[in-house]
């Protein structure tokens, strides 16, 4: 896995993201059970589902913690003279070990329905929070450590009772025995979610005050850029949540169709919520903005020079002008646990040319998808075919030192992680194009096939948001972050809106969603067209 990803830091971020998501599910399940389900006297089927969900989340958290402590330990051992015994005495190892023990305790408590088990669940939940927060940025601070730890606990609590518990609401609505039971569950959850959202905002503002420190840090540091991405996700969730709140108030008049609509919107909201959790995991891997020295921050001039619109590069530098390729054995050896080697201006111009043509293809795909909304332009529904051209372009141009442009043979070049990643990506694009084309043409009518596009959008957005750029130049990494983060947010918006278009019955919201995702796709193409690596 590490060889394929070429980046143990990325593996650590993914493990951290998994533990945060499972923690939110576990604590959200406990909150939903004791604040919503039991006081509402919900049916036995709903309560049994909640207990099963808590147990599953607890076991998943144990696995996630084991993965995180393993990756963190490997990272520590690889960069120092420490032994395994030394690592086992570190604070992060002990904290993760306690988190595992508390998660197992919650798994045991979820098997019993007694009041003692309920009290123990609440106590273990707070102990679990204490263990996870002890490895956060707050624990590493010298000043205001206690206050920041309390704010971090509040932030986790708000996430759990809003986002984590929402997943239980979604599935519980499919198990209720009557509309009145569903109405009671949604009303109680709405009140708890509003408390969670308010707690999340207040704690987030407090943490931003100490960790960011200034407005300029939101666009001159990687921490600030990721924080803005998280705020965007939060605002979209708030907008969807506000719509749900009005639906809940109308449930008494016509519950059945409104409940179906509520469930569809909650599905998208759950996806957004856990994408925000993944973004939070990426934030924890960044140094707080307030700690970034002035020389490591981007200036407004540097941002303007790199990001101001310019005509795309549609002519490629000659192949002979690129740096001579090394042997395949050297390339494979260089790719083991080291960042990408530096490149000269010709290599960057080659990369810009590739990005700009890829952007043009994505822009055309988005515009064709938008045109296909109109009855007279139905031929444009075959827009996914353009992605097949993108796959061929990646195969030919992504790795010029390999077949067919370079001297390295086709099959042997699969030993290089970079080449393998690009070719796997090209295959996935072809598969996606075939699926979506068949769906748009009505040849593939299976319901699951239509969900491939939004699923790939969500997966791509998650990978972009969790990927930490490991360029040697800190400013280059931040500039790459500034171009990749908007693409991730647009991809997420496209995936959710396409999901809503497919899942909602005919309504105004479904119509808006059907126009929104093609626009997002076209905007991704526009951003790629302005992608630059040269000043």
**Inter-CA distances, 454 with 171, 237, 424, Å:** 20, 17, 19
User: What pLDDT score does 148 carry?
Assistant: 93
pLDDT in tens, 426-474: 888 888 888 888 888 888 888 888 898 899 888 888 878 876 555 557 7
Q: What is the mean pLDDT of residues 388-395?
A: 86
Give, in order, the Cα–Cα distances in Å from 48 to each of 126, 164, 274, 438: 23, 17, 24, 40
Lowest mean pLDDT among 212-221, 236-245, 335-344, 513-522: 335-344
Q: How high is the pLDDT of residue 8? A: 61
- Cβ atoms of 211 and 288 within 8 Å: the answer is yes
| Per-residue CA distances from 11 to 70, 133, 205, 275, 453 (Å) | 10, 20, 29, 17, 25
Q: Please tell me the predicted confidence (pLDDT) of residue 102.
A: 96
Contact 383, 498 (CB under 8 A): no
Q: Is the pLDDT of residue 528 over 90?
A: yes
Phi-psi region of 337 (alpha: psi -120 to 50; beta: other; left: phi over 0): left
DSSP labels for 385-447? HHHHHHHHHHHHHS-TTBTTTSSB-TTGGGGSHHHHHHHHHHHHHHHHHHHHHHHHHTS---H
What length does the chain have? 535
Comparing 148 with 441, the larger pLDDT belongs to 148
pLDDT interval class at 147 (50, 70, 90) = very high
Q: How confident is the model at residue 34 (pLDDT cuts 50, 70, 90)?
A: very high
The tokens 């490591």 sit on which residue? 296
Task: Give me the long-range contacts of 286-289 (CB less than 8 A, separation at least 24).
Answer: 286/221, 286/222, 286/223, 286/226, 286/468, 287/223, 288/137, 288/210, 288/211, 288/212, 288/223, 289/211, 289/212, 289/213, 289/214, 289/217, 289/218, 289/221, 289/223, 289/224, 289/227
Answer whether 488's CB lies under 8 Å from 225's CB. no
d(CA 127, CA 111): 19
Coil, helix or strand for 324? Answer: coil
Q: What is the dihedral of CA 116, 122, 126, 129, to 10 degrees?
A: 120
* Per-range mean pLDDT, top range of 28-32, 245-249, 374-378: 28-32
- Say which DSSP state 506 is in: S
Within a 10 A sphere around the Cβ of 276, how many other Cβ atoms?
24
Q: Tokens 């992060």 identify what position?
A: 92
Q: Which of 191, 170, 174, 162 is nearest to 43 (CA)?
A: 174
* Mean pLDDT, range 405-431, rounded to an integer: 80
How far is it, in rounded angstroms, from Cα 452 to Cα 435?
Answer: 7
């Amino acid at each position: 896995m590490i060889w394929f990803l070429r980046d143990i830091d990325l593996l650590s971020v993914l493990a951290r993201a998994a533990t945060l998501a499972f923690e939110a599910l576990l604590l959200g399940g406990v909150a939903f059970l004791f604040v919503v389900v039991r006081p509402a006297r919900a049916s036995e089927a709903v309560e049994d589902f909640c207990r099963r969900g808590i147990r599953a989340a607890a076991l998943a958290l144990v696995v996630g913690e084991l993965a995180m402590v393993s990756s963190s330990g490997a990272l520590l051992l690889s960069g120092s003279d420490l032994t395994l015994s030394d690592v086992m005495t570190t604070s992060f190892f002990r904290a993760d070990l306690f988190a595992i023990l508390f998660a197992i305790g919650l798994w045991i408590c979820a098997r019993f329905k007694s009041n003692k088990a309920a009290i123990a669940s609440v106590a273990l939940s707070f102990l679990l929070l204490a263990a996870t927060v002890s490895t956060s940025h707050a624990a590493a601070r010298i000043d205001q450590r206690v206050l920041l730890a309390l704010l971090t606990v509040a932030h986790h609590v708000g996430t759990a009772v809003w986002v984590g518990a929402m997943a239980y609401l979604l599935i519980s609505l499919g198990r209720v025995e009557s509309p009145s039971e569903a109405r009671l569950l949604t009303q109680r959850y709405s009140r708890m979610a509003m408390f969670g959202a308010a707690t999340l905002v207040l704690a987030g503002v407090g943490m931003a005050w100490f960790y960011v420190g200034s407005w300029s840090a939101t666009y001159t540091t990687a921490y600030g850029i990721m924080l803005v991405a998280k705020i965007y996700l939060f605002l979209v969730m708030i907008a969807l949540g506000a719509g749900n709140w009005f639906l809940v108030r109308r449930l008494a008049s016509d519950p059945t169709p409104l409940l179906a609509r509520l469930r569809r919107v909650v599905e998208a909201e759950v996806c957004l919520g856990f994408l925000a959790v993944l973004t939070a995991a990426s934030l924890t891997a960044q140094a707080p903005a307030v700690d970034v020295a002035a020389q490591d921050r981007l200036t407004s001039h540097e941002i303007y020079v790199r990001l101001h619109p310019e005509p795309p590069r549609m002519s490629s530098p000659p192949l002979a002008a690129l740096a001579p390729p090394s042997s395949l054995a050297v390339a494979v050896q260089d790719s083991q646990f080291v960042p990408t080697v530096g490149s000269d201006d010709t290599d960057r111009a080659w990369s810009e040319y590739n990005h700009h043509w890829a952007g043009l293809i994505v822009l055309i795909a988005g515009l064709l998808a938008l045109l296909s909304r109109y009855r007279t332009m139905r031929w444009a529904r075959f827009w996914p075919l353009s992605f097949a051209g993108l796959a061929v372009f990646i195969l030919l141009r992504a790795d010029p030192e390999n077949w067919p442009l370079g001297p390295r043979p086709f099959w042997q070049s699969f030993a290089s992680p970079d080449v393998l990643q690009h070719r796997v990506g090209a295959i996935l694009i072809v598969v996606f194009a075939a699926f979506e084309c068949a769906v748009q043409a009505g040849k593939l009518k299976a319901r699951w096939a239509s969900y491939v596009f939004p699923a790939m959008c969500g997966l791509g957005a998650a990978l972009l948001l969790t990927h930490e750029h490991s360029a040697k130049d800190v400013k280059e990494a931040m500039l790459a972050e500034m171009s990749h983060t908007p693409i991730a947010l647009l991809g997420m918006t496209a995936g959710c809106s396409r999901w809503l278009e497919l899942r909602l019955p005919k309504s105004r919201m479904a119509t808006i969603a059907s126009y929104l995702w093609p626009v997002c796709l076209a905007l991704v193409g526009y951003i790629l067209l302005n992608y630059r690596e040269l000043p």
